Amino acid sequence: MDETIENVTEVVVVLGKRLVDNQLTAEGRSRIETLARLLPELNCDALAVIFCGGRTPDQEVSEAQAMLSYLTTHFPKSAQCIKPGRILLEDRSTTTIENIANASAELIESRLCVVGSPVTVRLLSNDYHIERIIEIERLMPEQGLLNYLKLEAHKVGLELVVSLDEAQHIVATYPNQTSLGKAFLLVDQLTTYRVYLEGRVAGVFQRSLMEVREQPYQVAVIALEQLLNLPVMRQHTATLLRLREIIEQSTLSLDSLQLEQLLVEYNQRLLALNRSTDPEN
């Protein structure tokens, strides 16, 4: 790593949300509004902010740029709390996994942090999103995004401190408090089992698979039961039942090919369900 040009000891990573008509949705705006309220309270002499999110084919601007523009346009005084040169744009990613991976690369390349000195990283996103990231980190650290972030930075001498306590991150309240919004949050809970399947296929678990599977299985089964009881989800009953079948079929005795086939189908159906229940689509 080249010579450090700044002495940043706290980094806020603002995770992206899909745009609609090149504009932030209510969820995306809630993240920036939360950041704007908090910035005056932070030690801005030691702070850097990374805005994450790329440009999808149907949009003309990246999520990262849209979030930064919203902050500077609507909350200029808060934006001025961030010192010049301390704003980083990660504008290539389209998923949370890519957000985290690319944010690590941006931070390393920026040379804002002192090698060997601890740097506190705080994620900023909506409540359900932070909850899911930390849940996965706790249940399956082998698949955890935060662990990946720390390992990548460690390779070049950066010592990142990333808490598994949700209270240490910056949480925006999910704004869509509707029946469909409730369904969307329940669908998101099915992500944990997908991550478990991905880990099984990749062969990353070196401990009892029965123990690894237990909690992701319980989370998914409970969420599916609640989804099946929601009137707004009646049109998706067949998909929900098939997801439950896949979960029950993905036993410990399956070979890698069978498991991979189930993972592909589970991921496709979950993605479609996520898009169809997101009130902001």
Of 1.20.120, 1.25.40, 3.90.1010, 3.40.50, which CATH number belongs to 10-172? Answer: 3.40.50
Residue listed under structure tokens 């010049």: 84
Q: How does DSSP classify residue 89?
A: E
* pLDDT score recorded for residue 106: 77
Return the residue matching tokens 């070049």: 156
The full length of the chain comes to: 281
The predicted structure's pLDDT at residue 248: 97
- The CA-based dihedral angle spanning residues 34, 39, 42, 48, taken in that order and rounded to the nearest 10 degrees: 100
User: In which element (H, E) is residue 199 found?
Assistant: helix 191-202
110, 3 Cβ separation under 8 angstroms: no
Q: How far is CA 41 from the centre of its chain?
A: 24
- At 198 the pLDDT is 97
pLDDT at site 194: 98
**CA–CA distance, 72 with 280 (Å, rounded to integer):** 23
Predicted pLDDT at 205: 96
Q: Of all helices (H) and strands (E), which one includes residue 274?
A: helix 256-277
Would you state the pLDDT for residue 1? 44
Going residue by residue through the chain, which has 281 residues, state the pLDDT in tens, using 9 for 90 and above: 444 556 889 999 999 999 999 999 999 999 999 999 999 999 999 999 999 999 888 889 999 999 999 999 999 999 999 999 999 998 887 777 676 767 777 777 888 887 788 889 999 999 999 999 999 999 999 998 888 888 877 887 888 899 999 999 999 999 999 999 999 999 999 999 999 999 999 999 999 999 999 999 999 999 999 999 999 999 999 999 999 999 999 999 998 899 999 999 999 999 999 999 999 98
The residue with tokens 């740029």 is 65
Report the predicted TM-score, pTM, of the whole model to 2 decimal places.
Answer: 0.90
Main-chain dihedrals φ then ψ at residue 82, nearest 5 degrees: -90, 120
Are 17 and 64 spatial neighbours (Cβ–Cβ below 8 Å)? no
Which residue in this structure is represented by tokens 């296929």? Answer: 201
Q: Give residue 77's Cα distance to chain centre.
A: 28
Q: What is the pLDDT of residue 187?
A: 98
Residues 30-51 pLDDT 10s: 999 999 999 999 999 999 999 9
How far is the C-alpha of 75 from the C-alpha of 80, rounded, in Å? Answer: 9
Q: What one-character-per-residue DSSP string does 94-162 give?
A: SSHHHHHHHHHHHHHHHT-S-TTSEEEEEEEEEHHHHHHHHHHHHH-GGG-HHHHHHHHHHTTT-EEE-
Buried/exposed code over 228-266 (b: 16+ C-beta within 10 A; e: otherwise): eebeebeebeebbeebbebbeebeeeeeeeebbebbeeb
